Structure 1
Amino acid sequence: MSIQEKFQDLALEEVIGDRFGRYSKYIIQDRALPDARDGLKPVQRRILYAMHMEGNTSEKGFRKSAKTVGNVIGNYHPHGDTSVYDAMVRMSQSWKVRNMLVDMHGNNGSIDGDPAAAMRYTEARLSKVSSELLRDIEKRTVDFVPNFDDTSSEPIVLPARFPNLLVNGSTGISAGYATDIPPHHLGEVIDAVIMRMEKPTSQVEDLMKAIKGPDFPTGGIIQGVDGIKKAYETGRGRVIVRAKTEIETIRGGKEQIVVTEIPYDVNKASLVKRMDEFRIDRKLEGIAEVRDETDRTGLRIVIELKKEADSESVLNYLFKNSDLQVNYNFNMVAIDQRRPKLMGLCDLLDAYIAHQKEVITNRSRFDLEKAKERHHIVEGLMKALSVLDEVIATIRASNDKRNAKDNLIAKFAFTEKQAEAIVSLQLYRLTNTDVTALQAEAEELLQTISKLSAILASEQKLLSVIKKELKEIKKKYQDERRTVIEEKISEIKINLEVMIPSEDVIATVTREGYIKRTSLRSFAASNGQDLAMKETDRLLLQEEVNTTDTLLLFTNKGNYLFFPVHELPDIRWKDMGQHIASLIPIERDEEILKVIHVKEFEEATNLVFVTKNGMVKKSSLASYKAMRYSRPLVAINIREGDELIEIFLTDGQQDLIFATHLGYVLWYPESEVGIVGPRAAGVKAISLKEGDFVVGADHTSTDRSPSEQAICVVTQRGAIKKMRLAEFERATRAKRGLITLRELKNNPHRLIGMKIVDDRDELIIRTENGKEEIISVSTLRYNDRYSNGSFVIDEKTDGKANLLYKKTSSKDD
Structure 2
Amino acid sequence: GEVIDGTIALMENPQMSTREMMRYIPAPDFPTCGILALDGEIESAYETGRGKMHLRARTHIEEGNAGRKKIVITEIPYQVNKAAMLEKILKLSEEKKALFAGIHDIRDESDRTGMRAVIEVKRDADVEKILAALYKYSDLQVSFGANMVAIAGGKPVQMGLKALLTHFIEHRKRVVTRRTQYELEQARARAHILEGLIVAVDNLDEVIALIRASKNPKEAREKLVARFDLSEAQAQAILDMRLQRLTNLEILTLRKEYEEVCKLIDRLEGILKSEKKLLRVIRDELTELKEKYADPRRTELVGKFEAVEIVQEEEAAEEVAVVVTRAGFIKRLPRRVYDKAAPEELDAAVALLTRTDRKLLFFTNRGNLYSLSVQQAPECQKVKDRGLPPSGLFAGWEQEERLVAAFAPESFEGELLFVSANGTVKRAQLADYDARKGKLAAVGLKDGDEIVCVQKLAAPELLLVSQQGMAIHFAAEDIPVQGRTATGVKGMTLAPGDRVIAAVQNEGAGEVLLATERGYAKRDLIVDFDLQARGGKGLRAITFQKNGATGTYLVGARLVMMPYDFVLVQKSGTRTRLNTEMVRIEERAGKGALYAVVVLDDVVESVEVE
TM-score of the superposed pair, with normalisation by structure 1:
0.40
Structure 1 residues 625 and 265, CA, compared in 2 at 3 Å: closer, same or farther?
A: closer
| Residues 705-762 of structure 1 deviation map (CA, whole Å, 9 limit, x = unaligned) | xxxxxxxxxxxxxxxxxxxxxxxxxxxxxxxxxxxxxxxxxxxxxxxxxxxxxxxxxx
Alignment partners' CA distance in 2, 1:315 and 1:275: 11
CA apart distance, 1:417: 1.1
Counterparts of residues 42-121 of structure 1 (less than 5 Å): none
Q: Equivalences for 1:392-791 in 2 at 5 Å?
A: 392-496=208-312, 548-550=314-316, 601=357
- Structure 1, residues 206-236: CA drift from partner, whole Å, max 9, x if none? 1111111111111111114311111111222
Would you say the 8 A contact 1:223–1:490 is kept in 2? no
CA change 1:272–1:485 in 2 (3 A) is same
Distance across 1 between alignment mates of 2:144 and 2:173: 33
Q: Is the 2:244–2:250 Cα contact (8 Å) retained in structure 1?
A: no
Distance 1:473 1:347 in 2: 22
Q: Aligned match of 1:344 in 153, 156, 160?
A: 160
AA partner of residue 299 (structure 1): M
- How far residue 456 of structure 1 moved from its aligned partner, in angstroms, is 1.1
Cα 1:208/1:552, change in 2 over 3 Å: closer
Hey, what does 2:7 align to over in structure 1? Answer: 193
In 1, distance between residues paired with 2:30 and 2:234?
57
Preserved CA contact (<8 Å) 2:318 2:356: no
Say which of 48, 60, 76 aligns to 1:246: 60
SS of residue paired to 2:295: coil
Give matches, 1:277-316, under 5 Å: 277-281=91-95, 283=97, 284-316=100-132
Q: Secondary structure at the match of 1:550?
A: coil
Question: Which one of 20, 36, 53 corresponds to residue 222 of structure 1?
Answer: 36
Identity of aligned residues (%): 43
Q: Does 1:381 align with 2:147?
A: no
User: CA separation of 1:256/1:389 partners in 2, compared to 1, >3 Å: closer, same or farther?
Assistant: same
Q: Deviations over 1:551-609 (max 9, x none)?
A: 8699xxxxxx989xxxxxxxxxxxxxxxxx9xx9999xxxxxxxxxxx99589xxxxxx
Contact 2:56 2:141 in 1 (8 A): yes
Whole-angstrom CA distance in 2 between matches of 1:315 and 1:435: 79
Q: Give, as a single letter, the amino acid of the residue that structure 2 aligns with 1:449.
A: I
Equivalent position amino acid for 2:239 in 1: V
* Secondary structure of 1:362 counterpart: helix
Q: Deviations over 1:138-157 (max 9, x none)?
A: xxxxxxxxxxxxxxxxxxxx
Q: Is the 8 A contact 2:33 2:78 kept in 1?
A: yes
Q: Within 1, Cα distance between the matches of 2:212 and 2:65? A: 97
Which whole-Å deviations, capped at 9, do the CAs of 1:156-209 have from their partners, x for residues lacking one?
xxxxxxxxxxxxxxxxxxxxxxxxxxxxxxx11111111111111111121111
Q: In the alignment, is the contact (CA less than 8 A) between 2:102 and 2:121 conserved in 1? A: yes
Report the Cα offset of residue 281 of structure 1: 5.0
Listed as ranges, the matches of 1:317-336 within 5 Å are: 317-336=133-152
Match of 1:272 in 2: 86
Match of 2:462 in 1: none
Task: Give the superposition deviation at 1:341.
Answer: 1.9
CA distance in 2, matches of 1:623, 1:215: 32
Query: For residues 130 and 239 of structure 2, what CA distance do their matches in structure 1 show?
Result: 85
**Are the structure 2 counterparts of residues 240 and 623 from structure 1 closer, same or farther at C-alpha, using a change threshold of 3 Å?**
closer
Q: In the alignment, which residue of structure 2 is the partner of 1:701?
A: none
What is aligned with 2:76? 262
Distance 1:292 1:484, change over 3 A: same
Q: How far did residue 334 of structure 1 move?
A: 2.0
What is the deviation of 1:458?
A: 1.0
| AA in 1 matched with 2:120 | E
**Whole-angstrom CA distance in 1 between matches of 2:306 and 2:76:** 17
Distance 2:34 2:235 in 1: 66
Q: Provide structure 1 residue ranges, at least 5 long, that are not aligned to the other structure.
A: 1-186, 498-547, 555-560, 564-580, 588-598, 604-621, 633-649, 653-813
Residues 477 and 385 (structure 1), Cα distance of their counterparts in 2 relative to 1, 3 Å cut: same
Quote how far apart the aligned CAs of 1:298 are: 2.1
Q: Secondary structure at the match of 1:288?
A: strand
How much does 1:337 deviate? 0.9
Please tell me the residue identity of whatever aligns with 2:23: K
SS for the counterpart of 2:5 is: helix
Question: In the alignment, is the contact (CA less than 8 A) between 2:27 and 2:38 conserved in 1?
Answer: no
Task: Assess, with a 3 A threshold, how the Cα gap between structure 1 residues 241 and 431 changes in structure 2: closer, same or farther.
Answer: same
Distance 1:290 1:435, change over 3 A: same
Say if 2:29 is the partner of 1:237: no
Residues 309, 376 of structure 2: 8 Å contact kept = no
In structure 2, relative to structure 1, the CA distance for the partners of 1:387 and 1:280 (3 Å cut) is: same
Q: Is the 8 A contact 1:549 1:600 kept in 2?
A: no
Query: Could you tell me how far apart the structure 2 residues matched to 1:375 and 1:552 are?
Result: 83
Alignment partners' CA distance in 1, 2:317 and 2:39 = 38
Do the aligned partners of 1:188 and 1:210 also contact (CA within 8 Å) in 2? yes
Q: Which digits, 9 at most, give the CA deviation of each residue in 1:618-659, with x for residues without a partner?
A: xxxx97999859799xxxxxxxxxxxxxxxxx999xxxxxxx
**Cα distance between partner residues in 2 of 1:441 and 1:331:** 51
Question: Which residue among 165, 168, 179 is the counterpart of 1:363?
Answer: 179
- Counterpart CA distance in 2 for 1:251 and 1:422 is 89
Task: Work out whether residues 356 and 375 of structure 2, in 8 Å CA contact, stay in contact via their aligned partners in 1.
Answer: no
Contact 1:378–1:438, Cα closer than 8 Å, also in 2:
yes
Distance 1:553 1:475 in 2: 57
C-alpha distance in 2, partners of 1:460/1:214?
A: 30
What is the CA RMSD across the aligned residues, in angstroms? 3.5
Give me the whole-angstrom Cα distance separating, in 1, the residues matched to 2:188 and 2:307: 67
Matched-pair contact (CA < 8 Å) for 1:376–1:418 = yes
Distance 1:440 1:422, change over 3 A: same
The verdict on how the C-alpha distance between 1:222 and 1:311 changes in structure 2, with shifts beyond 3 A counting, is same
Higher relative contact order (CA 8 A, sep 6+): 2
CA–CA distance in structure 1, aligned partners of residues 187 and 319 of structure 2: 83
1:738 is matched with: none
Residues 553 and 204 (structure 1), Cα distance of their counterparts in 2 relative to 1, 3 Å cut:
closer
Deviation at 1:441, TM superposition (A): 0.8
Secondary structure of the 1:189 match is helix
User: How far apart are the structure 2 equivalents of 1:454 and 1:425?
Assistant: 32
Q: Once the 2 structures are TM-superposed, how far is the Cα of residue 359 of structure 1 from its aligned partner?
A: 1.5
Partner of 1:572: none
Q: Offset of 1:481 from its aligned partner?
A: 0.8
Residue type of the alignment partner of 1:251: N
Could you say if the C-alpha distance between residues 586 and 230 of structure 1 is closer, same or farther in structure 2, counting changes exceeding 3 Å? Answer: closer
Cα deviation, 1:286-306, whole Å, max 9, x if unaligned, reads 222222222332222111222
TM-superposed deviation, 1:404: 2.6
Residues 352-398 of structure 1: per-residue CA shift (max 9 Å, x gap): 11111111211211111111111111111111112223323333333
SS of residue paired to 2:107: strand
Please state how far the C-alpha of 1:282 moved relative to its aligned partner.
Answer: 6.4
How far has the Cα of 1:250 moved from its partner? Answer: 2.1
Check the 8 A contact 2:317/2:357 in 1, yes or no: no
Larger radius of gyration: 1
**CA distance change for structure 1 residues 553 and 451 in 2, over 3 Å: closer, same or farther?**
closer
Cα separation, 1, equivalents of 2:130 and 2:62: 14
Instruction: Kindly indicate whether the alpha-carbon contact (under 8 Å) linking 2:307 and 2:376 is maintained by their aligned counterparts in 1.
Output: no
The one-letter code matched in structure 2 to 1:379 is E
TM-score normalised by length of structure 2: 0.52
